[in-house]
Amino acid sequence: MFLKPIPPPYDPLEWAKKPFAEKAAMVCNAWAMQGYGTPLGVYFVYAFKIAGYVAGWFFFCSFTPGMGHLANVGDWWLAREAFQKAILWSMLFEILGLGCGSGPLTGRYVPPIGGLLYFLRPGTTKLPIFEGAPIIGGPRRTWLDVLAYAATALCAIAALTSARPPTELLVALAVLLPFLGILDKTLFLAARGEHYWTTILVMAIAADFVPGAKGIHAALWFWAGFSKLNHHFPSVVGVMTSNSPVTRFAFLRRLMYRDFPRDLTPSGFASIMGHAGTVLELAVPIILLCGRGGTVTIVGLLLMLALHGFITSNVPMGVPLEWNVMMVYGGFFLFWKHAGVPLTDMTLPVAAVVAFMCVALPILGNLYPSKIPFLLAMRYYAGNWAYSVWLFKGDCHTKLDRLTKTSPWIHDQLGILYDKSQCVGIVGKVMAFRLMHLHGRVLEKAIPRACAGSFEEYEWIDGEIVAGMVLGWNFGEGHLHSEQLLRAVQAQCDFAAGELRCVMVESQPLFGSTLHYRIHDAKTGLLEEGNADVRELRTRHPWGLTA
């Protein structure tokens, strides 16, 4: 019971033979009532992982005299060293592959993580910033990449096992993490550079890091809320509610849609929930910045707990659970313990760092989403993401075995645990996740064109799953499985013309009204590109027909 997925209301093997529109309607209706169908036991694994994350923080805090013991936790949990170690441990936890993007809810089964299994292995695929450059620009990991990653992890461990993280180690990490990002952009994103690296840099250059860390923390909330001021977020609310382990009530899930099962566009109730969530996310940083330790601060902290409690209890795909724990802890350290410290206490170098990372980059990322990763733009879970769908003809996916990797083909991973019918049913649900977001409605026209009218001959695999297998990390960043990854895969696998087709869709820019899409063949290159009008997409069902 605890490891058995909820079966879809159809025979998955028969479903797999149907035309695209029919498959899409069936799987979307199944998601509306069942979500991903995750076994209950999986949620206990994630809960255990959070406990391990917190236990790890306790362990590293114990290297500081007077800290790390549960008996007197109230005396030390908001100490400066405790906060520093929480940031360092969170960064290390992420680059090891234990945090975001791990486990079954991100398409990882056997093994349940990528991370260090890839980043410590020469020959694995990577995405360098300077593609093609000598020494650092190749598509496969070298010993330089491995040593740089190992040095970063060792510096983090050394800082964590010190009584007080030494400045020289903080400086080393502040330098090493961007270097890792130059060698492989995947790693800087996996390290949550917009949060952890930026905070580490502030700690390295300022004796009093609290004002800068406050600015970073507030920006994370603010831009996350700002990014949800769009037409995409109501769809996110419905998809997330349908998948939540705590909202397994048919009546509530039906409320998310206009007219289940005939119309799965977001209901008025879902839109209200979306607007309320947006207001809450914007209100938290504003109220906490205005508070000085009294009633206003308490109200802000209660709203913060409500916000992150809601997110965590829904266990969203991508599972940024430890990050939510860190945000709550940071909220108490920065806005309760140091409520009276104003942002104006930032030194000029810190202010420059915060202005660039927490103001300039998010603005640019909203205006030009194709240029800035959504994590650096702090556009969390807004539903307005870049994404891709990879279409493998017949059994040509076996060519991926030519890559150096530790994660096998997704069906082979699942085949260790389930029979073929269950495997097809589980992977098929990912199609629903993509289609039920507003941006997924681009696929109704793009997929038949990509398959040249022979959709039944192709295996649909979301780019997120491909990135997880090939790169060792995935967390909703569509640019990690766009043209650069396709080039890297093709260089190693040599797909023939027509064997691998990819549909890539970009985010909607701020003040823009369209989603840009491209259709590629791995061998012959760009086949088609164009723009889809978001206003028109809003009138359509997830499977394409006019609502």
- 258 backbone dihedrals φ, ψ, rounded to 5°: -60, -45
Give the least confident one: 94-98, 315-319, 506-510. Answer: 315-319
Q: pLDDT tens digits, residue range 176-210?
A: 999 999 999 999 999 999 999 999 999 999 999 99
pLDDT at 2: 61
Residues in the chain: 547
Average pLDDT of the chain to the nearest whole number:
95
Q: pLDDT tens digits, residue range 248-278?
A: 899 999 999 999 999 999 999 999 999 999 9
Q: pLDDT tens digits, residue range 217-229?
A: 999 999 999 999 9
Q: pLDDT tens digits, residue range 126-155?
A: 999 999 999 999 999 999 999 999 999 999
Q: Provide the pLDDT confidence category of residue 40 given band limits of 50, 70 and 90.
A: confident
Radius of gyration (C-alpha) of the chain in whole angstroms: 23
Q: pLDDT tens digits, residue range 463-518?
A: 999 999 999 999 999 999 999 999 999 999 999 999 999 999 999 999 999 999 99
d(CA 227, CA 362): 9
Rounded-to-10 torsion of CA 251, 9, 26, 459: 130
Domain boundaries, the chain: 12-37+384-537, 40-226+277-367
d(CA 523, CA 206): 51
d(CA 159, CA 154): 9
